[in-house]
């Protein structure tokens, strides 16, 4: 278990270097948060993901992380992510070792989405809430640097910002089916893998990998500015 602990310690250390805390919490956008649950299985870090229920109005059947919009009673983004994870997959907040908040993203509805990274025990028994989640599965974190099935497309946001969309197809042995992971969910998974492993992926990314912190911040600021400009021009 020694190397296992070493791996976890290194991951914790790297993640804390990238912690943004509440640096972006004053931006005038509606807020949301997702939990990026890391679990150690067979000595390898895995990410837990969910499939959205087909009944949901927004993005039914899509793969995402547990999470959702901030509510008035949430103290902060960590609270939001933990509350939503409890509602969606039955994960008790005290069972999560929260490590950090990473650089936020902006979704299609212009919500500011903060990814909260936490470790959970491999023994955690998932109880999906069928109204929100149809399936829960795990993917080795390395898959988001060295995928077997990957494609990319460019996407121009409505504000004219050009960005790269990652699309991973993961064949899950346990569920005997393939899951498609793309959009903001894939964006967060790739960034998390880059932070923890510090290795170059087998595909192109929009970061300067030698200056991951500053380039991820620049990307975010450019994206935010493009939305802000558009809002001003709509006034």
In the block, tokens 């990998």 appear at: 209
- Domain with 87 in it: 1-233
Q: Are 63 and 24 in contact (CB under 8 A)?
A: no
Contacts 24+ apart (CB under 8 A), 225-234: 226/157, 226/159, 226/160, 226/161, 227/29, 227/106, 227/110, 227/157, 227/159, 227/161, 229/159, 230/158, 230/159, 230/160
What are 109's two structure tokens? 């509805």
Q: Which of 204, 192, 128, 137 is nearest to 169 (CA)?
A: 137
Q: Among 226, 223, 195, 222, which residue's Cα sits nearest to residue 211?
A: 195
In which residue are the tokens 């558009």 written? 230
Q: Into how many domains does the chain fold? A: 1
For residue 75, what is the DSSP state? S
Residue 45 host element (H or E): strand 44-52
Chain position carrying tokens 């992380």: 65
3-class SS of residue 42: coil
| Dihedral angle sign, alpha carbons of residues 219, 221, 224, 228 | negative
Q: Which residues, 6 or more positions from 120, have their beta carbon under 8 angstroms from its beta carbon?
A: 37, 38, 39, 48, 91, 95, 96, 97
Reported as a single tens digit per residue, the pLDDT across 74-118 is 999 999 999 999 999 999 999 999 999 999 999 988 999 999 999
How much is the mean pLDDT over the chain?
Answer: 92
* Tens digits of residue pLDDT in 127-147: 999 999 999 999 999 999 999
CATH number at residue 24: 3.90.79.10
Contact 40, 122 (CB under 8 A): yes
Instruction: Examine the pLDDT at 235 and tell me if it is beyond 60.
Output: no
Q: Which of 208, 196, 234 is nearest to 13 (CA)?
A: 196
Residue-wise pLDDT for 143-159, tens only, equals: 999 999 999 999 887 77
Q: In this predicted model, what pLDDT tens digit does every residue of 40-59 receive, in sequence order? A: 999 999 999 999 998 888 88
**CA angle in degrees (0–180, nearest 5) for 49-50-51:** 135
């Amino acid at each position: 278990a020694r190397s296992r602990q070493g791996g976890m310690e290194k991951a914790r250390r790297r993640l804390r270097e990238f912690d943004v805390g509440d640096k972006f919490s004053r931006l005038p956008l509606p807020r949301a948060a997702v939990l990026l649950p890391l679990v150690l299985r067979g000595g390898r870090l895995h990410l837990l993901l969910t499939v959205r229920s087909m009944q949901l109005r927004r993005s039914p059947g899509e793969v995402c992380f547990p999470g959702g919009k901030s509510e008035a009673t949430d103290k902060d983004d960590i609270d939001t992510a933990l509350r939503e994870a409890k509602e969606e997959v039955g994960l008790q907040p005290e069972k999560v070792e929260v490590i950090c908040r990473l650089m936020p993203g902006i979704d299609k509805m212009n919500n500011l989405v903060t990814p909260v990274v936490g470790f959970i025990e491999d023994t955690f028994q998932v109880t999906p809430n069928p109204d929100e989640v149809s399936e829960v599965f795990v993917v080795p974190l390395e898959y988001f640097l060295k995928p077997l099935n990957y494609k990319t497309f460019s996407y121009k946001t409505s504000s004219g910002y050009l960005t790269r969309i990652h699309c991973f197809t993961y064949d899950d042995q346990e569920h005997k089916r393939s899951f498609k992971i793309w959009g903001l969910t894939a964006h967060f998974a790739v960034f998390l893998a880059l932070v923890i492993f510090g290795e170059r992926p087998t595909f192109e990314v929009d970061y300067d990998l030698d200056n991951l912190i500053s380039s991820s911040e620049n990307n975010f600021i450019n994206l935010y500015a493009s939305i802000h400009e558009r809002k001003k021009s709509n006034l």
